[in-house]
Chains A and B, each alone.
Chain A
Amino acid sequence: DAGVTQSPTHLIKTRGQHVTLRCSPISGHKSVSWYQQVLGQGPQFIFQYYEKEERGRGNFPDRFSARQFPNYSSELNVNALLLGDSALYLCASSLDHRERFGELFFGEGSRLTVL
């Protein structure tokens, strides 16, 4: 079975541009979470979606937005990119939106470099 897939795997943008990152969860998983991992740090929670509704939002500016589609895939959008947005963006899926009850399955991430 396919795991969590993310695209693109690497991308380079310049300051002020916009980026869209995509994620396909494991088949049957209805919850998708997005995390930002800056070099040398642990992943930091950005969003969680379950059944196409936003269930949680981390401490990120409004430049960050996301959505989940009827097939449970998800997009993360970041507007007006800043140098500090350079990071590995991880998508994780799970059966249950209550993370304490389930296991998060992570994709390999999309590495964004902002110049």
Chain B
Amino acid sequence: AQSVTQLGSHVSVSEGALVLLRCNYSSSVPPYLFWYVQYPNQGLQLLLKYTTGATLVKGINGFEAEFKKSETSFHLTKPSAHMSDAAEYFCAVTLNSGYSTLTFGKGTMLLVSP
């Protein structure tokens, strides 16, 4: 079985500041990890994903995440926040073997102030 924990239901940053959204996972086998973003009244959109290979993954809109197996973490970062980044972000995990669906975290709402 797999699970995801997102630390902080809300994160507030100023425009131009560093964005750091935390995600820790639990998995019995090597995981595949994802970050999705949900804008108000919209469905989820894939930001980036880690499958195998390079542990630093770059996604859309300037976001990136680093897979750290020793820390069981997959934190999402962006060097400089923009007002348009305000949204809810979900970390998700699936297993790297057999049949497995996505297990999502509870989400982190990112608030960006001018």
> Which residues of A are at the interface with B, using a C-beta cutoff of 8 A?
4, 33, 35, 40-45, 48, 55-56, 58, 90, 92, 98-100, 103-104, 106-109
Additional A-B contacts beyond A45-B102, A58-B101, A107-B43 (4; CB < 8 A):
A45-B101, A90-B43, A92-B43, A106-B44
Q: A41-B107, A42-B105, A58-B101 are in contact. Are A106 and B95 (CB under 8 A)?
A: no
Confirm or deny: B45 has a beta carbon within 8 angstroms of a beta carbon on chain A.
yes
Complex: how many Å from CA A41 to CA B92? 13
Q: Is the CB of A100 within 8 A of B95?
A: yes
Q: Which residue of A lies closest to B92 (CB)?
A: A42
Given the known inter-chain contacts A45-B102, A108-B42, A108-B43, please indicate yes or no for A100 contacting B32, CB distance below 8 A: yes
Contacting pair A90 B44 (CB below 8 A):
yes
A90 to B104, CA, bound (A): 13
Q: Please, could you name 19 A-B residue pairs with CB atoms under 8 Å apart, sorted by A?
A: A4-B43, A33-B101, A41-B106, A42-B92, A43-B44, A45-B102, A55-B99, A56-B99, A56-B101, A90-B43, A98-B99, A100-B51, A100-B94, A100-B96, A104-B44, A104-B46, A104-B102, A107-B43, A108-B42
Residues of A within 8 A of B42 (CB): 108
| Contact yes or no, B101 A48, CB < 8 A | yes
Q: How large is the interface on B (under 10, 10 to 19, 20 to 34, 35 or more residues)?
A: 20 to 34
Q: Is B100 an interface residue (CB 8 A)?
A: yes
Residue of B nearest to A91 (CB): B43
Contact residues in A for B49 (Cβ distance below 8 Å)? 103
B44, B95, B96 interface centre (most CB from chain A within 10 Å): B44
**Across the interface, do A44 and B94 meet the contact criterion of CB distance under 8 Å?**
no
Residues of A contacting B25 in the complex (Cβ-Cβ under 8 angstroms) = none
Given A100-B32, A103-B49: A42 in contact with B43 (beta carbons within 8 A): no
User: What residue in chain A is nearest B97 (Cβ atoms)?
Assistant: A100
Chain B residue with Cβ nearest A55? B99
Residues 82 to 109 of chain B near chain A (Cβ within 8 Å):
90, 92, 94-96, 99-107
Q: Is B41 an interface residue (CB 8 A)?
A: yes
Those 7 A-B pairs whose CB atoms lie nearest each other, nearest first: A42-B104, A106-B43, A100-B32, A106-B44, A45-B101, A108-B43, A100-B94
